[in-house]
Structure 1
Amino acid sequence: MAERSELTVADGVKLHVETHGPANAPITVVLVHGWCLDRRTWRKQITALRHLGARRPRVIAYDARGHGRSGHTQLGAATLSRLGDDLAEILRVYAPSGPVVLAGHSMGGMTIMEYAHAYPDEFADRVAGLLFVSTTAEGHTHTRYGLPPRLAMLMRAGETLGAGVLARSGPWAPHRMFLPALRPAVRWLLFGEDLDDDALQVTMRCVGRTSLRSIGGFRTSIGAQQRLDTLTTLGDVPAAVLVGERDRLTPPACAESIANALPGAALTVLPRAGHMLTLERPDDVSEALTAIVRRASRARAPKRTRSASPQYDQAA
């Protein structure tokens, strides 16, 4: 069973956090979800990690500010930089010692890059493995939505304009009555050719809990991020990079540039798959994650000298 709690970060936002597994596990895995999603997109991978037996890690999955069960964010704090700071606070409280594996999907991968950029010494001391799923280090450089260049430019202009309107619409989530109308667009944008209806249902529920401010507010920061230089400084930390062949948001070119920047990274392109690999191809993501956990466990002896005893507020 997951242990649920809330962490109040520096600017007062409360983050919903769920932890799984023993507090004294030799390694901790932190799962960071994507834009307009929440921790539930990692549910298949959490189950897979439970099956590692004696090597079972501690697992931390949390909702980013403005997403899921976490508190609303101010518009000025709807940035990747702030998400990197939030990740740093999560680690200091819930995994204060010992090696960690960081896994990020989409915006979650970008969050990990921001953490590496802002806290290089902490990153080097703590991070024993990385998994990047359907993400980019180059903002919207390669994003074409699977469309011809001229149509892609028009769609980006419309998306940018719409994001600005949504960002100023307040901390309201899309009313569930509108979600069925969004379903075809979400299916086209986020999924590949083979789709499990349950995966789409989970995605729609996540979108339905994301505030309009967050849907629009993070768009500028996501589009502008450039962190390839940061990745080149991370050394040979065990890493895997996964991308769907039909990913319209972060196409294979994004994953290729990440893998080229990380000396220890293995790149996998999944045929016929789209952007939502954690739900769309859960077994492939779980296999890559468990392999990184095993490599990290062998590469670093446990550094824990005491059980984590985080100071947090219990969620109601």
Structure 2
Amino acid sequence: MTTHTVISADRLRIHVTVRGRENAPLTVLLSHCWTAEESDWHYQVHDLLERYGHDIRLITWDHRGHGRSERAPEDACTIPHLTRDLGLVVDNFAPAGPLVVAGHSVGGMVITCIPEERPDLLPRIVGLALVNTSCGELYKVTLGLPEMGAILRDRLPFLLATRARVLSRSRRERFPVVERQIVRRFLFGRPQRPRDVGHVVDQLIHAWPETMSGFFKDMMRHDRVGNLSAFDDVPTVVLVGSRDLLTPPAHAATLARGIRGARLVIAPDAGHYLPLERRALVSEELYQLIDGALRRATDQPAGRPDVHAARA
């Protein structure tokens, strides 16, 4: 494992973690949730390393304004910015060869923006996992509360951002009452493991206020349904929890309908954090994508893979 820093086009430091050998036949790139960081995928990283060792190149990264990446101004906290950052990560650490890409929540929205921002990457994508995410109309989400859900949806990110501005991080760590209630009520389904809830609460506490408000505003404008056909016939799985209140099953169904050949998997009783709540399910779906991609890569002659064959 090696850690790196790359500099975005607008001069922000982006933290990247790379595992596996440079000449691995396949690169797997995992993009995390809003207000989280690369450890969003820590169960899957463990499982993938245990199964494949260094036979794949595994890349995780902290989005701008998240984790160990640099704090970003609010107007630079947008999905297109993240997609350009993703392209930069690929250019630096996986400049050639097939890619399996997985995105959780805003990480999946980043992937749906690739046809706009980095269409040159599309021929290299040979596997796709979209987890608890959406291609648009998030402004219609009611958090399961039809009467007041839209109002609450719009206020919660700004409540968290205000707490981050007026209260010290140490105080919020000692008294995470609001953060814990939001995580337990709106982000997790059933059952709720205390260590996973605590992990997400900690991530919320460490998120910058600009990250909370800026990305929320941009996600409300997010509309990439027209981009989905660019992924037609790429082996794709769309996963969602039946109790996901932020990106509900109807949003997952729209994604699955928009990509020819995509499979829709709904996890009973799970919420918005499938990588934590349903570790085995998410890891198994990644195994299927990776195993298929490795078989196709092995069948190709040395040099650049034949994309049409890889997608067959």
Same fold (TM over 0.5): yes
Distance (whole Å) between structure 1 residues aligned to residue 30 and residue 149 of structure 2: 31
Distance (whole Å) between structure 1 residues aligned to residue 214 and residue 107 of structure 2: 16
Amino acid at match of 1:104: G
The alpha carbon displacement at 1:209 in A equals 1.9
Mapped contact 2:15–2:69 kept (Cα < 8 A): yes
Mapped contact 1:142–1:253 kept (Cα < 8 A): no
Mapped contact 1:167–1:216 kept (Cα < 8 A): no
Percent identical: 33
Deviates more, 1:217-226 or 1:295-304: 295-304
Find the counterpart in structure 1 of residue 32 from structure 2.
33
Distance 1:177 1:106, change over 3 A: same
Distance (whole Å) between structure 2 residues aligned to residue 215 and residue 17 of structure 1: 21
Q: 1:204 aligns with which of 196, 201, 205?
A: 201
State how 1:184-199 maps to structure 2 within 5 Å.
184-199=181-196
Residue by residue over 1:185-235, the C-alpha shift from the partner in whole angstroms, topping out at 9 and shown as x without a partner, is 211110002111111121122212211110111111111111111002222
SS in 1 for 2:237: strand
Distance 1:57 1:173, change over 3 A: farther
Q: Does 1:86 align with 2:80?
A: no
State how 1:80-119 maps to structure 2 within 5 Å.
80-119=79-118
TM-score scaled to structure 1, two decimals? 0.88
Q: 1:140 aligns with which of 126, 138, 141?
A: 138
Amino acid at match of 2:122: A
The alpha carbon displacement at 1:177 in A equals 3.0
Distance (whole Å) between structure 1 residues aligned to residue 205 and residue 103 of structure 2: 21
Amino acid at match of 2:259: L
Find the counterpart in structure 2 of residue 23 from structure 1.
22
Distance (whole Å) between structure 1 residues aligned to residue 30 and residue 122 of structure 2: 18
Find the counterpart in structure 1 of residue 219 from structure 2.
222
Find the counterpart in structure 1 of residue 246 from structure 2.
249
Amino acid at match of 1:57: I
The alpha carbon displacement at 1:57 in A equals 1.3
**Structure 1 residues without counterparts, runs of 5 or longer:** 307-316
Find the counterpart in structure 1 of residue 296 from structure 2.
299
Deviates more, 1:85-94 or 1:153-162: 153-162
The alpha carbon displacement at 1:151 in A equals 1.4
Find the counterpart in structure 2 of residue 125 from structure 1.
123
Find the counterpart in structure 1 of residue 4 from structure 2.
5
TM-score scaled to structure 2, two decimals? 0.89
Mapped contact 1:26–1:304 kept (Cα < 8 A): no
Distance (whole Å) between structure 2 residues aligned to residue 303 and residue 140 of structure 1: 44
Higher helix share goes to which structure?
Answer: 2
The alpha carbon displacement at 1:179 in A equals 2.3
The alpha carbon displacement at 1:114 in A equals 1.3
Find the counterpart in structure 1 of residue 60 from structure 2.
61
Amino acid at match of 1:81: P
The alpha carbon displacement at 1:60 in A equals 0.3
Which one has more relative contact order, counting CA pairs under 8 Å at least 6 apart? Answer: 1
Mapped contact 2:79–2:215 kept (Cα < 8 A): yes
Amino acid at match of 2:155: G
Task: Give the count of matched residue pairs.
Answer: 301
**Structure 2 residues without counterparts, runs of 5 or longer:** 305-312
Mapped contact 2:66–2:208 kept (Cα < 8 A): yes
Amino acid at match of 1:92: D
Distance 1:155 1:298, change over 3 A: same
